[in-house]
Amino acid sequence: MTRLLVALGAVAFLAACSKTPETSAPQAAAATPASEEAPPRVPEPTPPAAADPADHGKFTRLHAGPKDGKLVDILGAAAKRAKAEGRKLFVELGADWCEPCQAIERYIDDPRMAAAFAGTLVVKLDVAPSWGGQLEQFGLDAGSIPVWYELDEHLHATDHSIGGDAWGANIPKNMAGPLGDYFAGRDAL
């Protein structure tokens, strides 16, 4: 990623350096003798799209709270995105004060964790503020967090879930295995 940004910066720099001063057409014709041709104008590169902080390469992880809108709209948009990206849709319930939730945030880009989450789109819902009964409408229970739920085609939680009690200490070595098995469906065999 760093090499790509450096390369894009270099292209932008070279393009800026090779620009000719803007002049009106009559002045340019008078200033340039007929025997000399003006150097070709280098088009400016298209700036790269802003990096999506939710995109972790092998997986996508969106964060939402009640202030972000109705849960039905949040999950509906996530389902469309998951389908477009070819990923399986899951919901994660957590909170800032939850120690295992903090560990997930801290280690989410660890290669073992990235491999565990591969192929998923996870909607992380902050349960500290009240969702006003919206979680229950989708079969989501925040009684113990963190917890992940697989969603069906109607955006309701299935019986396939995993919680933070599935591993010991909150380190990638312990978390990645159970989470990887869960997301891949190997834990349900």
pLDDT of residue 188: 64
Length, in residues, of the chain = 189
**CA 18, CA 20: separation in Å to the nearest integer?**
6
| 139 Rama class: left (phi>0) / alpha (psi -120 to 50) / beta | left
pTM higher than 0.85, yes or no? no
Read off the pLDDT of residues 1-33 as tens digits, 9 standing for 90 and up.
333 333 333 333 223 333 333 333 444 444 445
Burial (CB < 10 A; 0-12, 13-18, 19+), residue 84, is exposed
Read off the pLDDT of residues 76-133 as tens digits, 9 standing for 90 and up.
999 999 999 999 999 999 999 999 999 999 999 999 999 999 999 999 999 988 899 9
**CA 178, CA 187: separation in Å to the nearest integer?**
8
Domains and CATH numbers, the chain: 1-51 (no CATH), 60-188 (3.40.30.10)
Share of the chain above pLDDT 90, in %: 66
**CA 5, CA 145: separation in Å to the nearest integer?**
38
**Both tokens of residue 131?**
């969702």
Q: Give Cβ neighbours of residue 72 (< 8 Å, ≥ 6 apart).
A: 134, 137, 155
